[in-house]
Structure 1
Amino acid sequence: MAQVPGEVDNMEGLPAPNNNNPAARWESPDRGWEREQPAASTAAASLFECSRIKALADEREAVQKKTFTKWVNSHLARVGCHILDLYADLRDGFVLTRLLEVLSGEQLPRPTRGRMRIHSLENVDKALQFLKEQRVHLENVGSHDIVDGNHRLTLGLVWTIILRFQIQVIKIETEDNRETRSAKDALLLWCQMKTAGYPEVNIQNFTTSWRDGLAFNALIHRHRPDLVDFSKLTKSNANYNLQRAFRTAEQHLGLTRLLDPEDVNMEAPDEKSIITYVVSFYHYFSKMKALAVEGKRIGKVLDQVLEVGKIIERYEELAAELLAWIHRTVGLISNQKFANSLSGVQQQLQAFTAYCTLEKPVKFQEKGNLEVLLFSIQSKLRACNRRLFVPREGCGIWDIDKAWGQLEKAEHEREAALRAELIRQEKLELLAQRFDHKVAMRESWLNENQRLVSQDNFGYELPAVEAAMKKHEAIEADIAAYEERVQGVAELAQALAAEGYHDARRVAAQRDSVLRQWALLTGLVGARRTRLEQNLALQKVFQEMVYMVDWMEEMQAQLLSRECGQHLVEAEDLLQKHGLLEGDIAAQSERVEALNAAALRFSQLQGYQPCDPQVICNRVNHVHGCLAELRDQAARRRAELEASRSLWALLQELEEAESWARDKERLLEAAGGGGGGGAAVTGGTAGGAHDLSSTARLLAQHKILQGELGGRRALLQQALRRGEELAAAGGAVG
């Protein structure tokens, strides 16, 4: 049923007409007035309440309009624009586009020139599309609403823009940064944090907590105590407090005066207007804090510059000393003249060892300290955005590393010359002992693992096979890790042969024996994994079959229900649920067929078989039988539910026909009783009709009723025939 636009909201609270009693429509107007008189006072009170609510809403809308207009102008002033009427000036889309460009810093598509409605719709639509690209949710706001000047939706659009570009960016640091807050809650928390400790200031919302003006003055005093003498303010002088705070913010902070005292000091201040004004305080004070932090940062940079200069001088001094020591030491240890005796070589070796363990580590630490010192210098300079320090020629880290490399090269050459002949034979004997020991351990390990992987004790259940697979994987991991040790035996044998060890033939024979046993073990492991994978795959199929049988048994239990519904809606609901159940059965049938096919493939394997083929066939037949039984039971259940639905549909149709007949019967009785004599509707002028026109009207109404009876008779006969068919088929519902 269509409703008259603009009138629906004003109809709330009015008594609704009684349309449920058909006889009431035939009663005279006098009788209706007599019934409405007792409720007259209630209707008047309800109408007054509605008018009061509408007045408050209009007042709130006026405050929002004024606040939002000032807010828009405060941002449009950057580009030399100004609006007078928020609703009218946003219609063409030009001002809206400029506002979004100022707030976002982005360039929007150029507005379409022209003053026709289609041009305005296109421009507003571009602005709304830009907001959607910024992930702004616009609920029930279209371009035609703004062009038509819809007050509520225009205010809603401006509020959405304020939320996106002014409030959404607010982030408050607390002790628990993991807590997620909305932008509004974050702003409220910021206000509470900044006004904590101020007497008679308790901000719990953005409405009544600001009425006395103390909260605004507390925010200003927190950041600029020189502007407000908070001790002289009293809670009872709200208008003075508000006027002083607004004037101070405008004159000393440069904040546009979006509100007046009467907009805040009222019974129900507008939340959105107060939030819009408080946000301007937040952004101003946040910027002021950032500027103070920047000043401290500059002072810190100057201190760092002086500190870096001292560190550079220290670095250059230490680098020169270290380079001088390196050059002296290289000259000493480069002398390759050794004593011509074992004791003399041993004494020279002891002196060299003392140098390596006592003198060199100290200088190495000095070298590391120089690297740390240079890194500290560069880090400090980089933090100050200054040019990096370049050491003078010959004192850089690269120069020190180069000299240190020459020192280590000279050390290595001297040590090699001292030890070469002394340890050659000792080294060969030590290698031979290590080789024999490793060969014995490798052969023992290989024999034990060959015995282990030759066993096929996998089990006959999925958990047992899975455990066997994990155990086998652990064995494979051990064997893979052990390969490096086997290769170590071959490498030792090769080293002994390269050095000309006297018993190299025996070493080669033992090496070949270890490699043959290793190849045998890897082959056994691969074959065992193949058998184990076949067993695991089959057991998973068996497990899936068990799950499917359990599921089919659950479905059969559901299908055993004898509930067919106690009315038509319930019967149709049961039939719909049964359809979903049949869909599940059809989907699972494909899964059952796939499982059966997968299981049968294992019975056709050649060679090794993970299970007796007869056991596989028996399980496949069992699952297939359960599926067939489930399908039959589902079909029987559908037939029952469809019969129930047909019966309840018939009963509902008969009840509706009976109700219609009773309504018409009461209508005829009411019309016939108007004359007091019980005459029929067409009974002349003796009844309720006292003239020819009344009689004609009653006769026409009676003919219309006869036509309706004729149409209903055919439908009723069809329903009776269906009932006879259901009765003949035995379709009764318990």
Structure 2
Amino acid sequence: MAQVPGAVDNMEGLPTSNNNNLSTRWESPDRGWEREQPAASTAAASLFECSRIKALADEREAVQKKTFTKWVNSHLARVGCHIGDLYVDLRDGFVLTRLLEVLSGEQLPRPTRGRMRIHSLENVDKALQFLKEQRVHLENVGSHDIVDGNHRLTLGLVWTIILRFQIQVIKIETEDNRETRSAKDALLLWCQMKTAGYPEVNIQNFTTSWRDGLAFNALIHRHRPDLVDFSKLTKSNANYNLQRAFRTAEQHLGLARLLDPEDVNMEAPDEKSIITYVVSFYHYFSKMKALAVEGKRIGKVLDQVIEVGKIIERYEELAAELLAWIHRTVGLISNQKFANSLSGVQQQLQAFTAYCTLEKPVKFQEKGNLEVLLFSIQSKLRACNRRLFVPREGCGIWDIDKAWGELEKAEHEREAALRAELIRQEKLELLAQRFDHKVAMRESWLNENQRLVSQDNFGYELPAVEAAMKKHEAIEADIAAYEERVQGVAELAQALAAEGYYDARRVAAQRDSVLRQWALLTGLVGARRTRLEQNLALQKVFQEMVYMVDWMEEMQAQLLSRECGQHLVEADDLLQKHGLLEGDIAAQSERVEALNAAALRFSQLQGYQPCDPQVICNRVNHVHGCLAELQEQAARRRAELEASRSLWALLQELEEAESWARDKERLWLRDALAVYRMFGEVHACELWIGEKEQWLLAMRVPDSLDDVEVVQHRFESLDQEMNSLMGRVLDVNQTVQELVEGGHPSSDEVRSCQDHLNS
């Protein structure tokens, strides 16, 4: 039979037999649970007793089978399994494996598929091996016993399982000596403790003490008085009591009905069946008590949870408010739009300082309080062994610290920006003051120079006007040098406008005023220069007129000379000089006309008149009169010089005619001599040529060498004579050429004679 070490021994309360025969022990009428009866003295009594014991054993076996089957089904119901016959359905090992998995909560090796005996033996061996691993002592129970459907060993195995997983866990400590009892004694003690004080309920064992059903009702009434009216139960009505208890346990407590009234209300109820059923009460009520205790603890925990929940709500509310304030403040102080004035920026800086010293410390204290509140929440949760509180996204301390860091960063940037803006506004104020000072200085200077250039005291002589021009050029240079300072005012105004100075309109108006005055001054200077240039040009024209009048007076002095020349050359020279003088007069007359026209243009100017037009006209008329007088005098002088030249030319022509006649006479005589000589040379040449032609015609070729040599010598002499004659012919040709070129009256005859000679 299977046994649980210690617990089973205590429950059996009997020493183990020497042969350890499980079948013998199981067939014993008390199996160690009741006191042994003394042996009968007679054989008949012994036989009757054996028959009676066997009948009781068979009856108990049937009750056990029914009870164990219901117990197995109550647990297999959780996995959707059910058995009909305990002996048959445990043979293949499948149901046994599932039962052990449900009771232990562990996963057993997967059963082998197959319907052969070897497969069933293997599966049962796996289940028995699992029980051995759970330190369940199995004696004389093998896999073949279960597979073969051995009734007693199968019941013994199920009882061993009930002991291990249902009864062995029961332990109750007494209050006097703190003694730890066995599982069976503990269960009995628990029943006695729960039924103490109930009339006619005296539990001393797990057999006869339960026959009347009062013990079952007492257990139910102890834990659920609403289900049982114990005062109406009587000891004599056992079946009703049992039926009522079993039905109530099944319907209201959910306990499987493992027994029927007839299984208990008998002479010797089966102890194991009653223990199995009572154990289900123990586990249910123990669990109910644990649940009640757990409920109280949960109630306390719920109170703590509610308290912590309120604190958490408070934390999240405060965190949300603080974060909203931080985000709102960051949005406000991140605004880089500042007042566009020094006083406005100073006020903003004072407001920021007030925020840093008054408002922010309060919020910093709130931040510290939030950290303390979160620590308190976490401490309470740790005390309750609960999961720590995790603030919702965006409301954690780290989020607050991050937002606070952003706030401090924004504060730093705000302060830096305010300081920078304050410095900028101070610089702008200094720049504006500098601008106002420069504007005052420039306006004073411009007014003074406008007054200065408005005066036209140029004078009436060229040196005075030239001095006034030099002074004006100095004024222009001073004004041109001052332009940079005026532009400096404009640049200051532009800088103020670029920096967004709050009084930029006034600055712009002052700048425009200075620029208008500057433009007015430059216009006045330009107009004054124009007037000066007109005066200077007119005075230069007047000066040129003076020069021209002086020149014309000098010319008139030269034209008054009475010298007309002593001969033709001198007369020609005087006339040529007078021509040059007339050329100068003509050229200067053009210049005089240009000067007069230029002067008259000044008298026709519209607006400003550099001089009285009448004065200009008088000077023009004077110059024009002097020019006319000079031209008239030059004409008289030319007439005188031409008359003188004509006289001297006539005299010179007479002398030249006389000289020409003499020259012609000399030339005729020279040409006549040349002609005579030429004719003589031509005659001589013709005679020589004729002579030589006759000799050549008459000459014969000699017969002797000596004569040939003589002829050769004569030819050589002839060559020399011909060369000499050629020179004379060339002289004749040259003479003829000179005569022809000289236009000799006998040129044709001379050329004819030449041609005859050359031919």
Report the TM-score when normalising by structure 2. Answer: 0.39
Name whichever of 541-550 and 251-260 sits farther off: 541-550
Name whichever of 684-693 and 66-75 sits farther off: 684-693
Task: Give, in whole Å, the separation in 2 of the partners of 1:383 and 1:352.
Answer: 44
Larger radius of gyration: 2
Give CA deviations for 1:194-218 in whole Å, capped at 9, x if unaligned: 2122111122221111111001001
Give CA deviations for 1:445-490 in whole Å, capped at 9, x if unaligned: 9999999999999999999999999999999999999999999999
Q: RMSD across aligned C-alpha pairs, in angstroms?
A: 57.4
Task: Give, in whole Å, the separation in 1 of the partners of 2:574 and 2:479.
Answer: 61
Aligned counterpart, 2:732: 692
- Check the 8 A contact 1:684/1:695 in 2, yes or no: no
Give CA deviations for 1:412-467 in whole Å, capped at 9, x if unaligned: 99999999999999999999999999999999999999999999999999999999
Name whichever of 435-444 and 654-663 sits farther off: 654-663
Give CA deviations for 1:138-176 in whole Å, capped at 9, x if unaligned: 122111221222222111100000111111223446546
Task: Give, in whole Å, the separation in 1 of the partners of 2:421 and 2:473.
Answer: 49
- Check the 8 A contact 1:603/1:616 in 2, yes or no: yes
Name whichever of 374-383 and 257-266 sits farther off: 374-383
- Check the 8 A contact 2:27/2:57 in 1, yes or no: no
Aligned counterpart, 1:543: 543
Name whichever of 533-542 and 650-659 sits farther off: 650-659
Aligned-pair CA distance for 1:388: 4.2
- Check the 8 A contact 2:171/2:182 in 1, yes or no: no
> Quick one: structure 1 residues 308 and 351, their matched pair in 2 at CA, closer, same or farther if it must change by over 3 Å?
same
Aligned-pair CA distance for 1:137: 1.0
- Check the 8 A contact 2:90/2:96 in 1, yes or no: yes
Q: Give matches, 1:218-617, under 5 Å.
A: 218-308=218-308, 376-383=376-383, 388=388
- Check the 8 A contact 2:10/2:182 in 1, yes or no: no
Aligned-pair CA distance for 1:572: 204
Aligned-pair CA distance for 1:396: 12
Aligned-pair CA distance for 1:111: 2.0
> Quick one: structure 1 residues 236 and 544, their matched pair in 2 at CA, closer, same or farther if it must change by over 3 Å?
farther
Task: Give, in whole Å, the separation in 1 of the partners of 2:673 and 2:664.
Answer: 14
- Check the 8 A contact 1:541/1:595 in 2, yes or no: yes
Give CA deviations for 1:238-291 in whole Å, capped at 9, x if unaligned: 111111111111122221111111211122211110011011112222333344
> Quick one: structure 1 residues 208 and 399, their matched pair in 2 at CA, closer, same or farther if it must change by over 3 Å?
same
Task: Give, in whole Å, the separation in 1 of the partners of 2:64 and 2:74.
Answer: 15
Aligned-pair CA distance for 1:369: 13
Give CA deviations for 1:492-539 in whole Å, capped at 9, x if unaligned: 999999999999999999999999999999999999999999999999
Gaps of 5+ in 1: 669-678, 702-733
- Check the 8 A contact 2:65/2:155 in 1, yes or no: yes
- Check the 8 A contact 1:15/1:43 in 2, yes or no: no
Percentage of matched positions with identical amino acids: 95
- Check the 8 A contact 1:14/1:43 in 2, yes or no: no
1:30 alignment partner, SS class = coil
Give CA deviations for 1:588-640 in whole Å, capped at 9, x if unaligned: 99999999999999999999999999999999999999999999999999999
- Check the 8 A contact 2:173/2:180 in 1, yes or no: no
Aligned-pair CA distance for 1:190: 2.0
Name whichever of 683-692 and 450-459 sits farther off: 683-692
Task: Give, in whole Å, the separation in 2 of the partners of 1:39 and 1:695.
Answer: 217
Aligned counterpart, 1:159: 159
Task: Give, in whole Å, the separation in 2 of the partners of 1:680 and 1:110.
Answer: 178
Give CA deviations for 1:660-699 in whole Å, capped at 9, x if unaligned: 999999999xxxxxxxxxx999999999999999999999
Task: Give, in whole Å, the separation in 2 of the partners of 1:206 and 1:664.
Answer: 206
Name whichever of 383-392 and 203-212 sits farther off: 383-392
Aligned-pair CA distance for 1:90: 1.6
Q: Give matches, 1:105-144, under 5 Å.
A: 105-144=105-144
- Check the 8 A contact 2:11/2:183 in 1, yes or no: no
> Quick one: structure 1 residues 331 and 639, their matched pair in 2 at CA, closer, same or farther if it must change by over 3 Å?
farther
> Quick one: structure 1 residues 119 and 369, their matched pair in 2 at CA, closer, same or farther if it must change by over 3 Å?
same
Task: Give, in whole Å, the separation in 1 of the partners of 2:88 and 2:659.
Answer: 56
Task: Give, in whole Å, the separation in 2 of the partners of 1:695 and 1:51.
Answer: 213
Task: Give, in whole Å, the separation in 2 of the partners of 1:580 and 1:181.
Answer: 171
Name whichever of 521-530 and 139-148 sits farther off: 521-530
Aligned-pair CA distance for 1:129: 0.5
Name whichever of 582-591 and 56-65 sits farther off: 582-591
- Check the 8 A contact 1:682/1:698 in 2, yes or no: no
> Quick one: structure 1 residues 688 and 450, their matched pair in 2 at CA, closer, same or farther if it must change by over 3 Å?
closer
- Check the 8 A contact 1:338/1:345 in 2, yes or no: yes
Aligned-pair CA distance for 1:555: 190
Aligned-pair CA distance for 1:118: 2.2
2:606 alignment partner, SS class = coil
Task: Give, in whole Å, the separation in 1 of the partners of 2:206 and 2:578.
Answer: 54
> Quick one: structure 1 residues 340 and 250, their matched pair in 2 at CA, closer, same or farther if it must change by over 3 Å?
closer
Give CA deviations for 1:309-352 in whole Å, capped at 9, x if unaligned: 67789999999999999999999999999999999999999999
Task: Give, in whole Å, the separation in 2 of the partners of 1:81 and 1:688.
Answer: 185
Task: Give, in whole Å, the separation in 2 of the partners of 1:190 and 1:696.
Answer: 194
1:37 alignment partner, SS class = coil
Aligned-pair CA distance for 1:303: 2.4
> Quick one: structure 1 residues 339 and 527, their matched pair in 2 at CA, closer, same or farther if it must change by over 3 Å?
closer
Task: Give, in whole Å, the separation in 2 of the partners of 1:684 and 1:265.
Answer: 215
2:45 alignment partner, SS class = helix
- Check the 8 A contact 2:340/2:501 in 1, yes or no: no
Task: Give, in whole Å, the separation in 1 of the partners of 2:38 and 2:650.
Answer: 45
Name whichever of 196-205 and 619-628 sits farther off: 619-628
Give CA deviations for 1:118-149 in whole Å, capped at 9, x if unaligned: 22222211110011111111122111221222
> Quick one: structure 1 residues 15 and 121, their matched pair in 2 at CA, closer, same or farther if it must change by over 3 Å?
closer
- Check the 8 A contact 2:11/2:33 in 1, yes or no: no
Task: Give, in whole Å, the separation in 1 of the partners of 2:664 and 2:140.
Answer: 45
Task: Give, in whole Å, the separation in 2 of the partners of 1:242 and 1:456.
Answer: 149
Task: Give, in whole Å, the separation in 2 of the partners of 1:487 and 1:520.
Answer: 15
> Quick one: structure 1 residues 471 and 40, their matched pair in 2 at CA, closer, same or farther if it must change by over 3 Å?
farther
2:655 alignment partner, SS class = helix
> Quick one: structure 1 residues 8 and 574, their matched pair in 2 at CA, closer, same or farther if it must change by over 3 Å?
farther
Task: Give, in whole Å, the separation in 2 of the partners of 1:29 and 1:181.
Answer: 25
Name whichever of 377-386 and 112-121 sits farther off: 377-386
> Quick one: structure 1 residues 42 and 331, their matched pair in 2 at CA, closer, same or farther if it must change by over 3 Å?
closer
Task: Give, in whole Å, the separation in 2 of the partners of 1:503 and 1:356.
Answer: 31
> Quick one: structure 1 residues 636 and 69, their matched pair in 2 at CA, closer, same or farther if it must change by over 3 Å?
farther
> Quick one: structure 1 residues 338 and 512, their matched pair in 2 at CA, closer, same or farther if it must change by over 3 Å?
closer
- Check the 8 A contact 1:14/1:47 in 2, yes or no: no
Task: Give, in whole Å, the separation in 1 of the partners of 2:59 and 2:647.
Answer: 60
- Check the 8 A contact 1:75/1:99 in 2, yes or no: yes
- Check the 8 A contact 1:94/1:123 in 2, yes or no: yes
Task: Give, in whole Å, the separation in 2 of the partners of 1:7 and 1:649.
Answer: 189
2:438 alignment partner, SS class = helix
- Check the 8 A contact 2:173/2:179 in 1, yes or no: no
Name whichever of 51-60 and 323-332 sits farther off: 323-332
Report the TM-score when normalising by structure 1. Answer: 0.40
- Check the 8 A contact 2:2/2:137 in 1, yes or no: no
Name whichever of 27-36 and 584-593 sits farther off: 584-593
